């Protein structure tokens, strides 16, 4: 912010209104900057679950509006901020309070992240969006481009991204601790909610306080049932992305940084019985990424990245001491390099070098550390506060927050690519991916795929009776739909900005 531009702004303000004393808050916003001492006006959308914790970590600012489709579930958060205006519909909130809102926090179910955030960014609002960033590949690309176009500060809610251990891992890998990395294995203890579910046939009465139509948002209409919400929406494809979407944005984050990844060239998925409606109990996904430019003196060759959930685990490295848990109870990462291995816990916690690499000396830090990024992840406000800092800075000189959408958008595309691999596994092939154009290149116009739609089982007079049926779909059409969802019920997305 130059002295000349400040003087010019004051001069024009004085000429327009005789003489006006302009507050630092107004002056700063007019010039694209908010003083650190001034507070943002933040609106929370989806505040009954993890959104409550996010808002607590943002309460250095003004929490001016709260929006949730389930007021009973959100009641505790409403009580936290009695002066905040309450809404059920984020569109109404923007209509009535849009001019007074600087930034939003989104912690709704996955299928509504993109709609809220995309429209907010077109209004110039800074956005903090819970992981996974979006429900589909197309939505991730859209948010990435909108953030760039509108120059807003953004952050995906993968809080481990702001912590020192992510940086420690990147610095060690790129300093050659285990040589050239050729494969990586990631796993989680999720799901910890029901999956592999049958589509409910009966309808239930809508609970008091829940606006069911607003919960559905852009998803297809269906009767209310308690298996969908609250919380268990992760176990339904129309609303969530299963264990992969829930945890990969945490667990795969350090490797995405360290290996400088972008789009995979191919992907393959397998799982326990999969159906049209609900993620499977357990799944394995293999991504292949092409070679990248070296990082310093370390080459970045083609690398295979594996994902396991539902109790599945990678082969145990022989260098790990017998009886020692691989990772931690929530999951972990195993890096395999040409000179050794590294194993971590969930979020990349406690990186440990194995085998020939164990004597490697940790290099001096080179990456920016986030204040508060070296304490208990559940007690730190580092991730939210780094976004708040970025939101107050002039976009011309802003130091972007750690998981801003330029990073988180392509990363999330990779995560939900795994969802596509599992859902399309009936094609029985590696799926070749053109990342720039967001399409598979080896699914033909006439390819068909059979997917389970009915899976009933009863025992009659001691004899099992199975009723498992499939429906056949055009594979290219259904893949296109899952890459870019059709929006229903009057909901829509802004147009995709051109590059």
The pLDDT of residue 26: 45
| Digit-coded pLDDT (tens) for 169-193 | 999 999 999 999 999 999 999 999 9
The pLDDT of residue 21: 34
Beta carbons within 10 angstroms of residue 488's beta carbon: 13
Task: Kindly list the structural domains of the chain, giving each domain's residue range(s) and its CATH number in brackets, ordered by start.
Answer: 3-161+381-411 (3.40.50.720), 163-357 (3.30.360), 414-483 (no CATH)
Mean pLDDT, residues 113-125: 98
Report d(CA 334, CA 26) in Å as an integer.
50
Query: 103-106 and 41-45 as β-strands: parallel, antiparallel, unpaired?
Result: parallel
pLDDT at residue 36 greater than cutoff 80: no
Query: 283-289 and 266-271 as β-strands: parallel, antiparallel, unpaired?
Result: antiparallel
The pLDDT of residue 35: 73
Q: List, in sequence order, the alpha helices (H) in 100-220.
A: 113-122, 137-150, 164-174, 212-216
pTM over 0.95: no
Burial of 329 (0-12, 13-18, 19+ CB in 10 A): exposed
Rg (the chain; Cα; Å): 24
Strand ranges across the sheet with 303-308: 352-354, 341-345, 331-337, 181-188, 303-308, 283-289, 266-271, 431-434, 439-440
Q: What is the DSSP letter of 313?
A: -
| Total residue count of the chain as it appears in this document | 499
> Can you tell me whether residue 64 is helix, strand or coil?
strand
> Can you tell me whether residue 467 is helix, strand or coil?
strand
Q: Which residue has the higher pLDDT, 468 or 7?
A: 468
Tell me which residue of 322, 361, 321, 320 sits closest to 342, measured CA to CA.
320
Return all residues near 204 (Cβ < 8 A) that are at least 6 apart.
223, 224, 225, 226
pLDDT at residue 12 greater than cutoff 50: no
């Amino acid at each position: 912010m130059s002295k000349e531009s400040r003087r010019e702004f004051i001069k024009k303000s004085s000429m327009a209104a005789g003489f006006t004393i302009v507050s630092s808050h107004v002056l700063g916003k007019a010039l694209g900057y908010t003083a650190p001492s001034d507070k943002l006006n933040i609106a929370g959308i989806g505040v009954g679950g993890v959104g409550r914790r996010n808002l607590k970590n943002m309460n250095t600012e003004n929490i001016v509006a709260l929006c949730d489709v389930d007021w009973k579930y959100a009641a505790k958060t409403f009580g936290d901020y009695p002066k905040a205006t309450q809404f059920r519909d984020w569109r109404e909130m923007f209509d009535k309070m849009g001019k007074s809102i600087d930034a939003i926090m989104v912690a709704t179910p996955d299928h509504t992240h993109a709609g809220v955030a995309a429209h907010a960014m077109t209004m110039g609002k800074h956005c903090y969006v819970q992981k996974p960033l979006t429900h589909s590949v197309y939505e991730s690309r859209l948010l990435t481009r909108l953030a760039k176009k509108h120059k807003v500060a953004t952050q995906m809610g993968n809080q481990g991204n702001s912590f020192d251990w992510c940086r420690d891992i990147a610095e060690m890998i790129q300093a050659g601790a285990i040589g050239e990395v050729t494969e990586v294995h990631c796993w989680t203890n999720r799901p910890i909610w029901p999956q592999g579910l049958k589509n409910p046939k009966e309808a239930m009465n809508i609970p008091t306080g829940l606006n069911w139509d607003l919960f559905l948002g852009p998803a297809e209409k269906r009767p209310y049932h308690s298996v969908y919400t609250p919380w268990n929406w992760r176990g339904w494809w129309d609303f969530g992305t299963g264990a992969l979407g829930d945890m990969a944005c945490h667990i795969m984050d350090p490797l995405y940084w360290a290996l400088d990844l972008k789009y995979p060239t191919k992907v393959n998925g397998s799982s326990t019985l999969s159906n049209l409606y609900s993620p499977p109990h357990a799944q394995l996904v293999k991504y292949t990424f092409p070679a990248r430019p070296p990082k310093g003196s370390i080459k970045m060759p083609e690398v295979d990245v594996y994902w396991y959930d539902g109790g599945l685990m990678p082969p145990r490295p022989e260098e790990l001491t017998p009886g020692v848990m691989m990772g931690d109870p929530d999951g972990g990462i195993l890096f395999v390099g040409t000179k050794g291995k590294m194993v971590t816990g969930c979020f990349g916690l406690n990186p440990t070098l194995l085998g020939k690499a164990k004597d490697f000396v940790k290099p001096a830090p080179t990456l920016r550390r986030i204040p508060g990024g070296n304490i208990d992840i559940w007690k730190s406000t580092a991730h939210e506060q780094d976004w708040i800092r970025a939101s107050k800075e002039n976009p011309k000189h802003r130091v972007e927050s750690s998981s801003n959408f330029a990073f988180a958008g392509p990363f999330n595309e990779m995560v939900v690519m795994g969802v596509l691999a599992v859902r399309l596994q009936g094609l029985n092939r590696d799926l070749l991916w053109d990342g720039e154009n967001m399409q598979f290149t080896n699914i033909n116009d006439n390819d068909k795929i059979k997917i389970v739609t009915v899976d009933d089982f009863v025992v009659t007079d001691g004899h099992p009776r199975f009723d498992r049926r499939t429906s056949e779909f055009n594979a290219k059409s259904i893949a296109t739909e899952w890459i870019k969802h059709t929006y229903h019920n009057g909901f829509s997305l802004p147009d995709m900005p051109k590059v």
